[in-house]
Structure 1
Amino acid sequence: MKEIQDIVRAYGVACQQNKRTALATVVQVEGSAYRRPGARMLVTEDGELTGAISGGCLEGDALRKARLVMAQQKAMLVTYDTTDDDDSKLGVGLGCNGVIQILIEPIVAENPANPIALLSAVLSQRQQAVVVTLFSLQNRKGVQPGTCLLLPEKAEAQGNVQPAALQELLAQEAVQVLKNQKSVIRNYQLEDKVISAFVEYLHPPVSVVVLGAGNDIQPLVQMASILGWLVTVIDGRTNYAVKSRFPLANQVILAKPPQVLDLISVDGQTVFLLMTHNYNYDIAMLRQLIPLAVPYVGVLGPKKKLNQMLSELQEEGLAFTPDQMQKVYGPLGLDIGAETPEEIALSVISEIKAVLTNKPGTSLRHKPEAIHDRTTIDTPVRVTTPQPVSDAVA
């Protein structure tokens, strides 16, 4: 989501400067590649790049093709085959061993459903959404529909796909993508041609609520901001909860525990960190947070502290289910030998990321399978359109 935020911001600047732009999107990968489907890069006519579609290997060639797309105002599907031992044609030995399909689309500002407009709508609505990008591997030199449909979880669809029967099938697919929270690539048979659809799952950025505004929080706020996470810092001390101390935080709030939940929004992408170094403040917040449907509540300090707080809450008559306790992490963070505030921030951020993606947080060298899930190409789904009713009278 950080990449989309940067692209939308850069597009706004380009529009102010009357620059033409194009959007490059990785829509399909077979085998290994540095970036996966959904990676994007905005290109301006004078060569400014925002985002990335590779580790830097493909950007130069993509820039040249993007300028052609801007000049012709026609989307282009580009294939980079890095399985070839001799990939000198790209100017560098990639060594990725994959086939990468990249769609490059001109951005027409006058079109209210252009790709950037759809991505902007995703950012404006803090909810899950599906973005559909259509492309044709069968007819590369033909029309490439591109990013054309946004299906938010709790709002009306934006964009238009023809025929209507295809849009209906895509809407049905979007329901499953939202349920599984996983992007898919589907093929559809439209009469004599096959169209591919990258049905992309997008979730709101992570919202990190940090309870505590000590100096040791500052590196954590900086790292979370780099990731594009929304950061709220809350403390009950007037000389600590000051915006100037946390310039990268989205919000800095002065509040006592009973006020906190009334002052913030909480959803499935919200995580909480209890880092106040104040036992009474932490236990007061823990009492409120455990029942919430959030994926992560981290508690700074030794295991003994957390156990003591839980014992006190149980003595009050509070009973917590195993599922509720599963989301409580204390001591918080991954075991990387962290000592300094910066190292602790890295440990905590890494654990949150692992929890949200349901990963173990172990070294990739011990992973027997590929780092990323491999794309599977399914049998095309036939799209049937209503036949026109004849006006003839028998």
Structure 2
Amino acid sequence: NKIHFDYKKHENDHLAATFCGSTIPAPFISSGNFLTVQFVSDLTLEREGFNATYTFVDMPCGGTYNATWTPQNTSSPYVSNQSVPLSTCTWVIEAPPHQQVKITVWALQLHAQDCAQNYLEVQDLPEGDERVHFCGRNLTALPEFYSSTSTAMVVFKSEVLNSNSRVSFTYQIADCNRQYNRAFGNLKSPGWPDNYNDNLDCTIILTAPQNHAITLFFHSFDIEDSSNCAHDFLEVRNGSSRNSPLLGKYCGTLQPNPIFSQNNELYLQFKSNNIISSHGYEIIWASSPSGCGGTLYGDSGSFTSPGYPSTYPNNTHCEWTLITPAGRPVTVSFYFISIDDPGDCVQNYLILYNGPNATSPSSGPYCGAVSTANTFRFPLVILKS
């Protein structure tokens, strides 16, 4: 027998809490002006049930805000001499159509290290490619967040609201200059999936952890074609500045080959003129200490063996972890495999695991040359040669 509390306006909204037993729950505050209470009992035991009262209160924090080009600040309320029971505060930040939101968290304190009950999460709305989650006590230098849609959501959850549990952040419309300090992510041209604007000059700097190498996989690509890419183009440089060594300059509709950098920093520049506008690009990037592999997150993507379409090097060991939003099943399709092995896929192979690590149920190993399409729902892929 149990009671569910949902922030429920639609079937896919969030479950907030579940209670059973005889311990009286702490006062509960919803994140908005709607709440669904569901009481469920089975066929075995009968009890007295529950008696609850409800009323409306002023929201301690949260709400819906419109982002502008001018940065705006918002915070959870400052509480000095009391502890207010708090469930969740939710801010929804909306930018104009075809724009993105930039969130900069400049102060964060959490009540406890329990990450299930005390955390800050920033994500796209509806759930999309971008999501960051912070919890624990030692939180410093939090990275900036850029939405991939026109709406972002900031969720602050704490058991209590007091001077040791608060958050402050800045929100604004994001321009096309970005700096990502993280191990993986998605890159989309401004306005994606619609055409990019004219006269853009965008700089994107990717910084992975030290001793990591970054890999770029081009999932979609359509930039105005011109001789030597003189008009619209995307440049990728091995480093953190426009003077770093050039790895490639791309335009047209031919999807570029993957880029396997040997650096933990990449510099990308995207430029457009005022003549022709196209769809732009969608890039998945990952990083790992081994020079290949890493985490791939998003609704869809592409990845390849190192050096593709050329041969992969000897002594390769790549592990890709595939994560989709909201726990959706991962489907991996292989249309071509060519892995040479002298025996029975012992030294050179591809193997898939249906779970987060190599102890999960597996499919494979695979080697040899196979040209027929194969589809798997296994989210961990390992290549070894």
Q: Bin the TM-score by the shorter chain.
A: under 0.3
Scaled by the length of structure 2, the TM-score of the pair is 0.27
Scaled by the length of structure 1, the TM-score of the pair is 0.27
- Name whichever structure is richer in strand by fraction: 2
